[in-house]
Chain A
Amino acid sequence: MKLINLVVLPIIVPLFIGTVLLLFRKSLLAQRALGLFGAAATLVVSLFLLAKVAEDGIQVVTLGSWAAPYGISLVSDMLSILLVATASLLTLLVLWYSVYSLGEKRELSFFYPATLFMLTGINGAFTTGDIFNLFVFFEVFLMASYVLIALGGERIQLRESMKYIIVNVVAAALFVITIGYLYSITGTLNMADLAVKLGDIGSMGVISTVAIMFLVVFGIKAGIFPLYFWLPGSYYAPPLPVLALFGALLTKVGIYSITRVYTLIFTTDVAFTHDMLMMLAIATILFGSIGALAYMDVKKIIIYNIVIAVGVILFGVAAFNEVAVTGSVLYLIHDMLVKALLFLMIGVLIFITGKTNLREMGGLIRHYPVLGWTYLVAVFALAGIPPLSGFAGKILILQGGLEGGFVWQSIVVALSTMVVLLSAIRIFIYAFWGAEKSFNSPPKAKYVNRMIPVVILFVITMGYGVFIEFLMPLFQATGTQLMDSSLYIDAVLGGEK
């Protein structure tokens, strides 16, 4: 086995370029060029890896060539590489947007290296096959996110980053405690090995307990009810590109982790653990729905929509059949794309008006038709209106939910779409329609600059909906791999067990 394997590259490339960036601390050009290059290179290697995984199945590399479960395994299955590729793509586009919007001072405050380090951590968390290594990757991207959230050091940022960090420190402590328990039971850290050993034990109280503890730990990250309290405040504070990254990527790591442990490791007591997850998912949707309509602030509205989506995705995971899980992954990727897109659009909106409160906006459609109409279409995509991007995932989630016998829960999920739609379309109705109100009317060139990455992301997102058939084999493979954990286990442990 080669030392530098394709699986490692999406982690190593941003790490390496991020480090190089530190050498050119003062050069704006170098920061921008290398920053974008780093994200682009990561995207390219992850696409190569995606092709390889799609062709040859799950890719595993054991670092230092120590056979699993003794060394640390990195495992690229479809779920992992799809998320890695999406995360890299979004990082690239958000960085592009930042070039025009962030401001030199912030750009030179280690914005690009920190973002690339965050990408390292996120990609690593998506890829690692070792539960303790997952914790370490969590810390990597969290540390980078601490730097990013405080970037620029406005008062509100300092205050909110304080809360954000402390909540995450406590979550990390719980995480390590839980890993300790798991190690005590099984004597191993490798996730595939854990799956095998817990499978041998079968259903047992202690294991269900540990499973629920993981739900709490990852739930804090993912923002499930009632653990998402930190989220709206903290996400509100940083500059918009950072918010877009956080909104699109960070909670998704939590969702990914729940999905991973609840499809691979803790599958012995599904009747209890997954029902618990189902309850929490529904509660998350309900409370997110309540929050989304409570605000007139454009950022808050979209932030609460993150919470609703978390519930919807986890609903599919909890339903725990192949259709629903496939739907969840489809929806997860959609949500990453569309949330990043919406945040960037909101960013342009705030840039144009200089306000965040909807009541102070109005009549922009005549002046900014492209932003307005793309926003409206993006909202319909967010709500899962066919044939846009949210639709295929939502249909499969619902269908899987119904097949699993979760009838009323499925109806809740279907109706939550209404809240999503109403909350997000209010922005369109107030800001773009309605009586014209004063706004900044910034130079056209600046507006156009910002719109370029936005429109590119828009096209990608819409393509993800209409041409989903071309990607469908990937997602079907994902569903199969997730529901048949032996594929993962055999790939890692070589099938000898």
Chain B
Amino acid sequence: MLLFYILFPLFVALGITIVSSKIRREFLGWIAFSVPVVLFALFARHIPTISSSEAIRTTFSWIPSYGIDLTFLLDGLSLIFVLLITGVGALVILYSIYYLSSKDSFAHFYTYLLLFMTAMLGVVLSDNIIVLYVFWEFTSISSFLLIAFWFHRKNSRNGAIKSLLITMSGGFTMLAGFLMLHVMTDSFSLRVILAELPQLTDHTLFYPAMALLLIGAFTKSAQFPFHIWLPDAMEAPTPVSAYLHSATMVKAGIYLIARFTPGFGGDVYWFWVITCVGLVTLFWGSFNAVRQNDLKALLAFSTISQLGLIMTLLGIGSAGINPAIGEAKGLYTFALFTALFHLVNHSTFKGSLFMVVGIVDHQVGTRDLRRLGGLMRFLPFTFLLAMIGSFAMAGLPFFNGFLSKEMFLTAVLSIGDLPIYGGAQVGWLLVLVAWLASVFTFVYSMILVFRTFTGRPIVDEEYKVPQEASLGMLIPPGILGVLAIGLFFFPNLLSDYLLKPAVEVLVEDGAALAPKIYAWHGFNTELFLTLGIITLGIVAYLLLRKWRPYYQYIPSNWTFNTLFRSTLSGYERLGERVTMRYMNGNLPSYFLYIFSFFIIVMWTTWWIVGPINVTFDSPSSMTVYEGLLAVVMAAAAIAILFAHSRLTAILLNGVLGFSIAIFFVFFRAPDLALTQLVIEAVTTILFLVCFNYLPEWKVEKLSITKKVRNGLIAIAGGLTVTIVGLAVNNYTKFESISSFYENSYELAGGRNIVNAILGDFRAFDTMLEGLVLFIAGIGVFTLIRMRQKKGAEPRENQ
């Protein structure tokens, strides 16, 4: 059943691709819209079951041989995500029907979007980590396709490839981490792994697996310093940004970390890495959001910042898993609870804000803050929605953001009371960072509303009076806005049905430890911090013109963006330079590499495995003639190097060949000697004929160093061959199989053993040798014939 839920969007996507040419475009949108609506209803049906802490499971086998099967599991944690995916998905698709222009390809858009939906549902429902990884990569791919939806724009392509590179590298590292988990636990099932992990903290792969997993999660959820892909991903159509790059896909990393909290949580590194990365991201995102002029860029950095916030909460909350935490467990379960609560809240207000910005862009034609202003009059409903979203984001009362922000501050303050990990020493610093980030958050939230909707627009000849957006574009953010307010007044409804079952998955007794949400806590530290944020925020917003220009003094080439870009282009340039240098197309250079490598690798072998045993003992004696012949051959060979004409060289080569024939006679190989004589004669003639057409042999002009280098390599190469030869020659432990052939007369009816071998025992070799000769004949024939044919036509055709 779950598999059907997951594949449903995919099937519809395929259907859309098939029928796209036959249906009206808008209709495609409505078909797509029906998918998340149906799924939302189907999943919502399970809320009562899940809230009683039960899970729904389905299994299909895929590669059972390696324990990879399609097991899907719907529990409290997954349920929050699937409802977000389908709920926000439905609103986004509805919105997009009115947002896309007539020039855009609806079929592609909805195919990608539904593909993404399948992938994302798969990520949060898979129990098998390999299957989870499969869907994980599919979210990256569909995101890649959607960012490059307007692929004729260079920025879109660059943004797409950048996000693909970063998220997929993260995916591959995560896969390596998953495989380590498999090596540790011998299982691909999440439940099994999570159950066994706490007992495996001493395993050598424990920390490598954790690190790789975290990299995967951080890249996906745009955590510092991997956040750089998210702003560039804003090249995607705005509904995509609202959906993938704010509400769902970027939360996959959050999901992963939440999911693994029962396994890794309780470990000190897990706690600090996630908490610190989260806090840094929170601060860096909000700090940079303030300086943006593009509304979508502002929202991108704001998303980064908010993801950091959720991450921080997950980090803090992980302390609750540690058994040493004792009494304070409730406090840290509180942090996990808050993380999930803010996750939902963020999806509501950020989704609506993206849609608002989309409306502005759609109706006004720009989203540059420097050109915008005074839209309140023309887009009153949009203004209202923008206010709701921004105030929720800023953490003002009467909006859901207020609740989760307060709870976040409580959680950060609790680090100071942490009985383990030495949290007490640095707790105040973390609070300061979180507080500062909140001030920036407040400021950019105000910028978003008031710089866009109040003040005066820049009126020039391009300016046309904008009109309020159509109802179809207003309803989706409207629904989210209503949710943002509704959740402030009735948070415990959400808590009881969704959040508590989810926390129960993360921590034992989580549901019991989870707090009841109150808007009013009395006059406590959190309230004063919030008042401080609002006061300082208002002051900072009013004085914006005074301090915002200082941003330009931050060196622009000291960012991770530049690092990423220069690494990539540096890598390409390095590749080009290195490759062009060694791949020079020059055959002698190739031999230089090959022989040098041969020599180095052989001598290294001897160096490592110990020298091999070389002696000059020979089983057989030597006659004077043989000795003389050997000297002649050596002399002839060396003389070739000094030959002045090619004729001399060829004849010297002939001398070598004929000497070998004589050796064959000495060494009791008459058949060989005969063959060698014939072949040598033919070869020499061939050489002579062929060289007749080639230019005269010139004395090589090589520098002395090169000559010495070549000479050394040549000598070392010969020496290597000799050494191994001497070593093996003295190592004869086994009787050769040849003794068998001495029965050749009885076996094969031949008296000549060599012939018997060639013609019978190893006849296959002989046949193939004939084939080689035969193919060579064909080759020679075509080469020559080609020449003759070409002779007629002009030869220069380069």
Contact = CB atoms under 8 A, between A and B. Distances in A.
Interface of A: 15, 22, 63-64, 66, 69-72, 109-110, 113-114, 117, 120, 124, 132-133, 136-137, 139-140, 143-144, 146-147, 150-153, 155, 162-163, 166-167, 170, 174, 177, 181, 183-190, 193, 197, 201, 205-206, 208-210, 212-213, 215-216, 220, 226-227, 229-230, 232-233, 269, 272, 276, 289-295, 363, 365, 380, 385-387, 391-392, 395-396, 398-399, 402-403, 407, 410-411, 414-415, 417-418, 421-422, 425, 429, 433-435, 468-469, 472-473, 476
A185 B747 CA distance: 26
13 contacts: A136-B768, A136-B769, A139-B772, A140-B775, A153-B786, A163-B587, A177-B721, A209-B602, A230-B590, A269-B609, A272-B608, A386-B134, A392-B63
Contact of B768 (A124, A150, A181): A124
Contact of A187 (B160, B613, B735, B763): B735
B724 A468 contact: no
A295 B576 CA distance: 7
Given A110-B782, A212-B605, 10 more contacts: A70-B740, A166-B587, A174-B598, A187-B735, A205-B611, A209-B606, A232-B583, A363-B152, A407-B180, A434-B151
A269 to B, nearest CB: 7
A418 B786 contact: no
B152 A433 contact: yes
Q: From DSSP, what is the main secondary structure of chain A's interface residues?
A: helix
A117 B572 contact: no
B148 A137 contact: no
A265 B190 CA distance: 41
Q: From DSSP, what is the main secondary structure of chain B's interface residues?
A: helix
Contacts of A210: 724, 728
Given A415-B169, A418-B165, A472-B63, A206 B728 contact: yes
A69 B137 contact: no
B196 interface: no
Contacts of A472: 63, 65-66
Contacts of A146: 776, 779
Contact of B141 (A212, A269, A380): A380
B780 to A, nearest CB: 9
Contact of A291 (B134, B583, B597, B798): B583
A399 B179 CA distance: 6
A46 B611 CA distance: 46
Interface in B553-608: 571-572, 574-576, 578-580, 582-583, 585, 587, 589-591, 593-594, 597-598, 601-602, 605-606, 608
Contacts of A398: 175-176, 179
A181 B591 CA distance: 22
A430 B735 CA distance: 64
A70 B582 contact: no
B620 interface: no
Nearest to B585: A233
Contacts of A162: 587
A413 B738 CA distance: 46
Contacts of A294: 572, 575-576, 578-580
> Which of B164, B172, B593, B729 has the largest count of A CB atoms less than 10 A from its CB?
B172
A469 B62 CA distance: 7
Contacts of B725: 181
A468 to B, nearest CB: 6
Given A153-B783, A398-B176, A418-B169, A163 B590 contact: yes
A229 B724 contact: no
Interface residues of B, number: 98
Contacts of B137: 385-386
A139 B766 CA distance: 12
Contacts of A206: 612-613, 724, 727-728, 731
A429 B157 contact: yes
A163 B590 CA distance: 9
Given A187-B737, A395-B175, A418-B169, A435 B152 contact: yes
A181 B783 contact: no
A212 B734 contact: no
Nearest to A220: B594
Nearest to A181: B728
B740 A155 contact: no
B173 interface: yes
Given A205-B611, A290-B578, A425-B161, A395 B597 contact: no
B597 A227 contact: yes
Contacts of A133: 762, 764-765, 768
A280 to B, nearest CB: 9
Nearest to A70: B740
A410 B760 CA distance: 49
Interface string B421-435: 000000000000000
Contacts of B782: 109-110, 147, 150-151, 153
Contacts of A435: 152
B591 A170 contact: yes
A24 B79 CA distance: 70
A140 B768 contact: yes
B133 interface: yes
Nearest to A404: B183
B741 interface: yes
B130 interface: yes
Nearest to A137: B768
A230 B782 CA distance: 24
A414 B772 CA distance: 42
Contacts of A151: 782
A184 B731 CA distance: 7
B635 interface: no
